[in-house]
Amino acid sequence: MKSDVNKTTRGIQSRNREEVTTRILVAAEKVFAEFGYAGASISRIAASAGIPKSNVVYYFETKEALYRRVVGEIFDIWRAAADSISVDNDPIRALGEYIDTKLDLARTRPYGSKVWANEIIQRAPIVQDYLEDELRSWTENRITVIEAWVQNGQIRPISARHLLYAIWATTQHYADFTHQITTLNDGVELSDAQWEDTKTAVKDLLLSGVALPGQDGVVTDG
């Protein structure tokens, strides 16, 4: 803010700023997921990032601002995952890709999913504006696409909205409820093969009711 000094070293400092910022964001995503917003103390986030807690405050000013950054990231990632849902694409293939991508994210970014779940469970006290400004219109657009597929006779006349909710619920379940799933898997995390089985099973269960009778390609997909 009061810059001027150290102008010559700004390049190095900027890179350092970015590195530290990223470290904090990664740590924060995990700690917010595992302890909830209230239970995630700045000192715990700092300890997880390996820096003093006042450093966290210095880079993000407040706990809430840091939290919003974390939530915003997973929100953006999920939106990009739905790119395949477009009128020009084949419905079963597009929905299958969406499920695959969401399940890959459930495995690779489980903490982000958990933070989002926590926030919604608690009635979005901090990111309600995201829901109203962005999620709402985004969702309506996807529903319009799915309804167009129904109109065109490309899929069975299912409820587009509830199909979307079912895909969200099921794919995110494998992230949010990882601990329960692991416990029911004799305490060991799902293997690569089990994750592949999961993808196949989820697509089979959710898309068999969507595909037209006799249509194939639900399970057998790259």
Partner DNA sequence: GTCTATATACAGATAGAC
Partner DNA sequence: GTCTATCTGTATATAGAC
Contacts with a copy of itself by CB under 8 A lie at 33-39, 114, 117-118, 120-124, 128, 131-132, 135-136, 139, 156, 158-159, 161-163, 165-166, 168-170, 172-174, 176-177, 179-181, 183-184, 197-198, 201-202, 204-210, 213
CA 53 to chain centre: 27
Asked if 16 interacts with DNA (CB under 7 A), we say: yes
Asked if 22 interacts with DNA (CB under 7 A), we say: no
CA 56 to chain centre: 24
Sequence-ordered list of residues with C-beta below 8 angstroms from that of 149, at least 6 positions apart, any chain? 87, 91, 155
- Residue 58 beta carbon to a copy of itself: minimum distance, rounded to whole angstroms: 24
Q: Using the minimum distance from each CB to a copy of itself, give the nearer residue, 57 or 131.
A: 131
Closest CA relative to residue 31, chosen from 41, 19, 20: 41
Q: Which stretch binds DNA (CB under 7 A): 57-65, 84-92, 151-159, 207-215?
A: 57-65
Asked if 52 interacts with DNA (CB under 7 A), we say: yes
DSSP-H helix ranges across 3-135: 10-39, 42-49, 53-60, 63-81, 91-108, 110-121, 128-130
